[in-house]
Structure formats: C-alpha cells, structure tokens
Copies of this chain bind each other. A is one copy, B any other.
Amino acid sequence: MSDAQRPGEDDLIARYFRPLAGPAGLSLLDDVACLAPTPGQDLVLTADALVAGVHFFPHDPPEAIGWKALGVNLSDLAAKGAEPLGFLLSLALPPGWTAGWLEAFAAGLGDLAGRSGCPLAGGDTVRTPGPLTLSITAFGEVPAGRMVARTGARPGDRLYVSGTIGDAALGLQLRIAEEPRRAPADWIQALAEGEREYLRERYLRPQPRLALRRALVDHATGAMDVSDGLVGDLQKMMRASGTGASVALETVPLSPPARRAAADSSAFHVCVTGGDDYEVLCSVPEDRAGPLVAAAASAGVPVTAIGKVGPAGSPVTFVQDGKVVSFDRGSFSHF
C-alpha cells in the first residue's frame, strides 16, 4: 500500500487505538497516561518486547500477534497475583505495513484487553526499516506487600503448574513443519487435524492465567510464569529462591493432544523444554496445597502438583520412571 493510502500517525491512533483506550489513557490526546492508584495496593509493572521473525512469524494472523503481545505481559502480572489496570504500546511499523494489517492487529489486541479488563493507556508509534517490533508495558495492582515473588520458594514447599504444559511448543513445531522443505516429525503425522489445530491455537493465543490471581496471593510463597520452557524456568525460579527441587516428569500435566504426541519421547522433550506455555509455576507450603487446589479449581484453572522444593543449595533434579533425567544444554538424556 502506498503512503498516500495509509493513515498518518494521528489518524492511525484515532482509528485503531483510541477505541481501545481506558480513562487513564486520556483519550490518547496527551503524551502520558494518568491514574489514581487504589489505596492499600502496590503497583506492579512489566515490559516484554516481540520482534517479527524472532518471537512470531511475520505472516502469523495479525489478530493473534496483537493478542499475544498483550498476553505475554498479562501472564507476568497473573503470576505475581496482580490485577491488570492498563498497558502502553510501543509499535515500530516496517515499510510494508497496511491499514488492514493494523486494523486486525488492533482487533486482536483489543479482544484480549477487553476480556482482561486491561485497557490501552498510551504508547508510541514509529517507523522502522527493520522488522515489526512491539513492546508492551502492562501495569496492575496487588494488595500491599502481597506480590508473589520469584524468590519466595521455601524448602519443603510443593510445586504446582497451571493448565497443561508443552502445547504451545508443539504448536510452534507444527508451524515450523508447515514451512516449505520441512519433513514433519513422526509425532506430527500421528495427530488428527483437530489436535493439530488445538496445539497451533495454544501457540498463537496464550491464555494469561489471571483467574488464578487470588489463589496465588492467598496461598503461594513464590511464582513465575512459564514462558521459556518448564525445565529452564523451574531452574531459574529455584536459583532465584536459593533452593533445589525434585520434579516427577510423569506428573507434568499434558493436554490430550500433547499426551498423544508425547508417546514419541522427542515430543515429550519439546513439551518440557519448549517455550510459550504462559502457564503459572508456583510454590506452596504443604498445608496450603489443598486450599490452593480448591481455589484454582473454583477459578476454572486447575493446577497440578509436579514436585517439591529441596533444601537450600541442593540441585534441581528431574525424575522419570524412577530414573534421574538430565537436561544438558537443552538436550534430554537418561543416565
């Protein structure tokens, strides 16, 4: 589309982004957002950047790109027990952008913003000679002093994850297999088309676990969202908490399609090391495990016990069928 057919920055903001703005966004007429914090609440802020060709495929549906850009930020707020208040969007548009792309992108972004009670509060739109690049800063609030930190796991705590693990990583493999000159793995060929579609959607549209917010604040000692793979993120959380852990891999919750794929051990490896789950990993004292499970179930997001936090300085071990499994440099080897 030529420049003449595309809206300028002011028009673009008015057409596509003003409808997404909440009161803090001041109708996007100012350079800033302004809001009155709720007394007794702490403010929680998070920023994530996404680059076309690095964090998503340039030809992914624009609605899904918009959804995901906000979703990965809301996932961080959810894992901290924070309620979203709003977000700022920095959008760097490449030379070939079109009004149609932007309209669909804004629709996907607005869809998740609406469902999450997290309106647009401001941002910046610029041009780039490079790939489409997005950065979103989302902010929310949590009762004062109650944010669930990554550093809070304590020896003896139980480890839980929400939902199911590995769907999105399998969905990414499916998308890669759809590229020209790729031979699909055996596990891909074993799936029905409906199962493939489920996994692709889990990759494209992460579901931030905001419904777990209250359960985490009430019961968890520590938490983070699982975005870079369960194995790596669990190691990261234990390192931050100064603890070890023991995880039983056969207890990691898998969806029916992932379970079918994971009959192939290479697909199971993808599930537990691949990224983009956007589920919540949390640590819970033993006497809070029952209340956490009940609160999560009544919030509609089941959680599953996968292991236990070990003593300070102990290693993080993964066990499968009674054997210790080592994940060395991302590779998966029994010994």
How far is A32 from B135 in the complex, measured between Cα atoms in Å? Answer: 15
Which of A39-47, A267-275, A301-309, A321-329 lies on the face that meets chain B?
Answer: A39-47
Q: Distance (Å) between the CB of A236 and the closest chain B CB?
A: 9
How far is A126 from B133 in the complex, measured between Cα atoms in Å? Answer: 11
Q: Distance (Å) between the CB of A120 and the closest chain B CB?
A: 11
Asked if A31 meets B46 with Cβ closer than 8 Å, knowing A128-B131, A131-B129, the reply is yes
Q: Distance (Å) between the CB of A133 and the closest chain B CB?
A: 5
Of the candidates B37, B46, B54, the one whose C-beta lies within 8 Å of that of A129 is B54
Instruction: Please report which residues of chain A, range 262-297, place their CB below 8 angstroms from some CB of chain B when the two chains form the complex.
Output: none
B-side contacts of A133, CB under 8 Å: 51, 92, 128, 130, 133
Of the candidates B55, B79, B126, B139, the one whose C-beta lies within 8 Å of that of A31 is B79
A49 contacts partner chain B, Cβ-Cβ < 8 Å: yes
Q: Which residue of B lies closest to A76 (CB)?
A: B31
B-side contacts of A147, CB under 8 Å: 32, 34
- State the oligomeric state as a number of copies: 2
| Contact of B77 with A32 in the complex, beta carbons under 8 Å | yes
Q: Distance (Å) between the CB of A46 and the closest chain B CB?
A: 4
A88 contacts partner chain B, Cβ-Cβ < 8 Å: yes
How far is A91 from B240 in the complex, measured between Cα atoms in Å? Answer: 23
Name the interface size band of chain A. Answer: 35 or more
| Contact of A240 with B29 in the complex, beta carbons under 8 Å | yes
B-side contacts of A240, CB under 8 Å: 29-30
B-side contacts of A35, CB under 8 Å: 42-43
| Contact of B32 with A122 in the complex, beta carbons under 8 Å | no
| Contact of B37 with A92 in the complex, beta carbons under 8 Å | no
Of the candidates B32, B127, B130, the one whose C-beta lies within 8 Å of that of A45 is B32
How far is A144 from B36 in the complex, measured between Cα atoms in Å? Answer: 7
A244 contacts partner chain B, Cβ-Cβ < 8 Å: no
Of the candidates B30, B80, B124, B131, the one whose C-beta lies within 8 Å of that of A48 is B124
| Contact of B44 with A32 in the complex, beta carbons under 8 Å | yes
A151 contacts partner chain B, Cβ-Cβ < 8 Å: yes
Contacts A31-B225, A37-B43, A51-B129 known; list 4 others, CB within 8 Å.
A32-B82, A33-B46, A36-B144, A43-B43
Interface CB pairs A-B, < 8 A, 28: A29-B150, A30-B80, A30-B151, A30-B224, A30-B240, A31-B76, A31-B225, A32-B77, A34-B42, A35-B42, A37-B42, A45-B121, A46-B122, A47-B90, A47-B135, A48-B90, A50-B126, A51-B126, A51-B127, A51-B133, A54-B126, A54-B127, A54-B129, A55-B126, A124-B135, A128-B130, A128-B131, A128-B133
